[in-house]
């Protein structure tokens, strides 16, 4: 199973969130650090687009594990809410194309 781990205690704003995600998920140098770009990078995990360091098999999931999620919930609840919303939207997009969901958000 593919896993990317993000330290929720280190997330204090959107720039630190995007920096942590770029490192953990292997987004390209051209990553613009916006939620639209975040969604775009995670929307083709089963294709060879090179937007992350992960390439999933047809039924495989990528676990995005936020360690110390309670700190993130306290410091930046809006970002955590946005991530939750975007993960659900990305999975819905996969299902619309007849594929299994590709992401699971794990809060620890």
In the predicted model, is pLDDT for residue 1 greater than 90?
Answer: no
Point out which residues pair with 86 in neighbouring strands: none
Q: What is the pLDDT of residues 82-100, one digit of tens each?
A: 999 999 999 999 999 999 9
Sequence-ordered strand ranges (E) for 1-108: 2-7, 62-67, 103-107
CB 26 within 8 A of CB 52: yes
Point out which residues pair with 66 in neighbouring strands: 6, 107
Q: Is the entire prediction scored with pTM above 0.85?
A: yes
Residue 45's SS3 state is coil
- Domain regions of the chain by residue span: 2-107
CATH C-level class of 2-107: alpha beta
On the CB side of 108, CA atoms within 13 Å amount to 11
């Amino acid at each position: 199973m593919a896993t990317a781990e993000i330290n929720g205690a280190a997330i204090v704003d959107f720039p630190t969130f995007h920096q942590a995600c770029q490192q953990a998920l292997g987004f390209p140098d051209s990553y613009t650090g916006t939620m639209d770009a975040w969604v775009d990078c995670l929307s083709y995990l089963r294709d060879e687009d090179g937007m992350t360091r992960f390439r999933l098999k047809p039924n495989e999931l990528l676990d995005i594990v936020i360690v110390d999620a309670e700190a993130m919930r306290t410091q930046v609840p809006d970002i955590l809410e946005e991530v939750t919303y975007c993960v659900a939207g990305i999975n819905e997009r996969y299902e619309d194309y007849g594929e299994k969901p590709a992401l699971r958000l794990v809060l620890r």
